[in-house]
């Protein structure tokens, strides 16, 4: 299976609307290197695929699922596979949205603390 995992990188990256150059930058690699990995002209390693998943903020299973070939799954299992894949992606989408909301909330809390600190400094200055 590892020799076919490269097939899942590009569709996953595109699904997340990340360009090849953006992903390469996140990885500290050149776009040309990522291109040969995505097309299978270079045998990627599990550690490389894990770094790609980390850069995309996704678990390894997502790329592995994208890499599965339709003909490798029996027709009777295809419907179940697609359901599992859909649920996984839905879950990941929800967790990504929640993370973004948490980041916004944390940003607001930080801004509020900074503002309160400025107000405290102003009040101390006026008391002097």
- Model confidence pTM above 0.85: no
For residues 23 and 62, membership in a common domain is answered with yes
- Domain total of the chain: 2
For residues 35 and 15, membership in a common domain is answered with yes
For residues 25 and 58, membership in a common domain is answered with yes
For residues 57 and 89, membership in a common domain is answered with no
According to the model, what pLDDT value does residue 46 have? 85
What's the burial of 85, exposed, middle or buried (CB within 10 Å: 0-12/13-18/19+)? middle
Kindly indicate the confidence band of residue 73, based on its pLDDT and cuts at 50, 70 and 90. low
Residue by residue, DSSP assigns 46-113 as HHHHHHHHHHHT--HHHHHHHH--GGGS-HHHHHHHHHHHHHHHHHHHHHHHHHHHHHHHHHHHHHHH
For residues 80 and 57, membership in a common domain is answered with no
For residues 27 and 42, membership in a common domain is answered with yes
Q: What does the pLDDT look like over 34-62, one tens digit per residue?
A: 999 999 898 888 889 989 999 988 888 88
Range of the domain at 38: 1-69
For residues 65 and 126, membership in a common domain is answered with no
Q: What is the mean pLDDT of residues 81-104?
A: 69
């Amino acid at each position: 299976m590892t020799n076919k995992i490269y097939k899942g990188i590009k569709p996953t990256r595109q699904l997340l609307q990340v360009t090849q150059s953006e992903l390469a930058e996140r990885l500290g690699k050149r776009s040309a290197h990522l291109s040969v990995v995505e097309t299978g002209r270079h045998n990627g390693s599990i550690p490389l695929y894990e770094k790609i998943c980390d850069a995309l903020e996704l678990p390894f299973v997502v790329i592995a699922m994208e890499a599965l070939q339709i003909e490798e799954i029996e027709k009777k299992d295809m419907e179940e596979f697609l359901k599992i894949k859909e649920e996984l992606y839905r879950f990941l989408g929800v967790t990504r949205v929640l993370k973004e909301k948490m980041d916004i909330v944390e940003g607001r809390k930080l801004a509020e603390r900074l503002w309160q600190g400025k107000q405290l400094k102003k009040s101390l200055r006026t008391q002097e």
